[in-house]
Amino acid sequence: MTAATANTSTGTNGKSWLEDYMDQASAGALAAPPSAWWIVTRACNLKCFYCFADARRRDPDELDTAQAKAVLDDFADSGLMFVTFLGGEPLTRKDIYDLVDHSTDLGIYTALLTNGLNVREKKIDRLVEGGLEMIGVSIDSKDDAVHDAVRGVPGSLAGAKGTIRHAIRRGLRTSVRIVVTEDSYPAIPDLFRWAIDEGVEELILLPIFMVGRAAGGAEDRRADIAGKELFLSTLRRLHEIGAPLGINVPLQQRLACPQGIELNAPDDRLHHAGHAVGFEKSVGCKVGRFMVSVQPNGKVYPCPFVHTEIGDLRRQSITDIWQAPLMRRARGEDLGCLARSVIHTGRADVLDPTYHGDTEELLAALPEPAGRRRKLVTVPGTIPGTAPAAQPRVVEGLSLATHNARSTS
């Protein structure tokens, strides 16, 4: 049974099979992760400043087709239910259609994330024919100039919108993904409404993490704290907008983990329902219970934003990797966000220092970098319709301009 059909089958206590499965995952009772986010290539045709994968060009030791299919076989044998292919740009891999075909033939619910640039309709058609269940496309602004500047390539927004519209026409579950940065947040309320009007089924809001290409600045910890608060503030604003429309925007208080929002909720008869139930059930930090992140060479990280190796699929099965010490600890303790543990302490196996702290106190505890010219920016309260921020903050790395400025200072 696959996640695409499981929501229509009844399990124990009147729950669907998938609901039972995700409840087991929440309890840490599964022998393998329910989901793998697989960076199948680091090659990319864009240059987003916040790219967590630092995607630029193909890694020399990227898994080939046969090796990738062997990994998918191992996933299916373990009972893993969801695979999301991402990058980089996964459609730069010539064998991506073979991988989608193989994954879906194994009964795995298969999704793909793309930037939408140069994605012709026939590519989407081919993915649909291969059984792809969901496609996600990232957008940074309603303004072509802003989006294209963040992405580093003209025409990026037009390509993204075209991909979204054709995917919807083809009946694919379609997701719009927004990373909350200083560049994107002014447009997020309008993008929220636009996605609803277009018939997009899901919006995923992500905080910026100071990892990958975003990392390496003198103020990474300060940017992480301010970016987290900006993300939580944005969720609150969308909650206000969504309520009168009958759309539930879940709120978060401390964690600031990527949040899925159902814009046009599927009913139980639709094949999309499996993904909806999966996201609904996997609330909170997903490390150790709901996911792993596979790198192009088969190395495995706890999540896309926690760049700490826990295993290698060239040598180990996913069930063995799932029992790595860090995974067992994450299942046994509430450590907050392990990506923030790494950003603030350099270690993934300790409590997230921002998990219980007040934003103002956390910022006040950090030293001010000396001798640097920095741009004055504000965080929460600058979203239209919210109260003004109590005071401006000086933060580098939350926008393209400040990211570039720190590189040249």
Least confident of 21-25, 97-101, 271-275: 271-275
Amino acid identity at 13: N
pLDDT in tens, 196-211: 999 999 999 999 999 9
* Residue with the two structure tokens 């192009």: 296
What proportion of the chain, given as a percentage, has pLDDT over 70? 85
pLDDT in tens, 133-172: 999 999 999 999 999 999 999 999 999 999 999 999 999 9
Average pLDDT in the chain: 87
Residue 268 confidence (pLDDT) above 90: no
Q: What residues contact residue 265 under an 8 Å CB cut-off, 6+ apart?
A: 201, 276
- Classify the C-alpha dihedral 51-208-198-263 as positive or negative: positive
pLDDT of residue 20: 85
pLDDT of residue 375: 42
pLDDT (mean) for 115-135 = 94
| 291 or 407, higher pLDDT | 291
> What does the block give as tokens for 351?
């409590």
Identify the DSSP state of 257: -
Stated pTM of the model = 0.89
pLDDT in tens, 78-101: 999 999 999 999 999 999 999 999
Least confident of 189-198, 208-217, 262-271, 276-285: 262-271
pLDDT of residue 408: 64
pLDDT of residue 318: 98
pLDDT (mean) for 286-315 = 96
pLDDT category, 392, cuts 50, 70, 90?
very low
**Do 30 and 79 touch, CB atoms closer than 8 A?**
yes
- For 319, the 3-state DSSP assignment is helix
Residue 127 confidence (pLDDT) above 60: yes
Residue 289 confidence (pLDDT) above 50: yes
How many Å apart are CA 354 and CA 360, to the nearest integer?
Answer: 11
